[in-house]
Amino acid sequence: MNKLLAEFIGTFVLVFAGTGAVVVNDVSRGTVTHVGIALTFGLVVLAMIYTVGDISGAHLNPAVSTAFWLAGRFPGTQVLPYLSAQCLGATAASGTLRFLFPTNGSLGATLPAGTAAQSFVLELILTLILMFVILNVSTGAKEKGITAGIAVGAVIGLEAMFAGPICGASMNPARSLGPALVSGHLAQLWIYLTAPVLGASLAVFACRGCQESGCCPPPSQKQS
């Protein structure tokens, strides 16, 4: 239960700070700026890795938990509980923001600026890159250590910086699910539930191809 609580709190903080930056930027007429939003997402993930990484691994993302399982670094029996804790944490964060900013329409929901196909491909590639980095800098299913926190936080900030205006740069189904459920923006949610999971899963095969020993154990060695 301590792992699930850590995932709930960590994802709550991620969504509260990240989408909170989007909301505050809206209500303050651009004070935070797009760069500030991107930095907020990167920094809050970095902080949570150092805070709960040794407890739960600081997945904070259903796509990450799924990919760790596919890579053989995470037991399958824990995948659904982790996903539930992450989605509940994200939804609770969005509910809190709704209470604080009742007139805000989107609550930081990820919405495509262009076509659905464009955002789908962007989210897939962005998450593939993110998970490729995570798999190569993490230890087992745990994202801990100086290099892991800096590398993962930096990649998230970087990708949010250049892709955020087009697709929202979610890379995280829970981060998109919470604001969508609370704000009612559900039409394009399928993009942000499927593309990150597919991208993270493809990263497992990319990582295995680059580092067969040490990065991803072969299928026969996966944890059940």
**Residue 222: per-residue pLDDT:** 46
pLDDT given for residue 220 in this prediction: 44
Give pLDDT, residue 28: 95
Rounded to a whole number of angstroms, the distance between the first and last alpha carbons of the chain is: 19
**pLDDT value at residue 3:** 95
As a whole number of angstroms, the distance between CA 124 and CA 128 comes to 6
3-state secondary structure 29-68: CCCCHHHHHHHHHHHHHHHHHHHHHHHHCCCCCHHHHHHH
Give me the pLDDT at residue 152, please.
Answer: 93
111: left (phi over 0), alpha (psi -120 to 50) or beta: beta
Going along the chain from its start, the domains and CATH numbers come out as 2-213 (1.20.1080.10)
Each of the 224 residues of the chain gets a pLDDT tens digit; together they read 899 999 999 999 999 999 999 999 999 999 999 999 999 999 999 999 999 988 998 999 999 999 999 988 899 999 999 999 999 999 999 999 999 999 999 999 999 999 999 999 999 999 999 999 999 887 655 555 567 888 999 999 999 999 999 999 999 999 999 999 999 999 999 999 999 999 999 999 998 887 766 565 544 444 43
Helices 146-167, 33-56: crossing angle, 10 deg rounding: 140
**Residue showing tokens 């590639």:** 125
pLDDT of residue 224: 39
Q: Quick one: pLDDT at residue 147?
A: 72
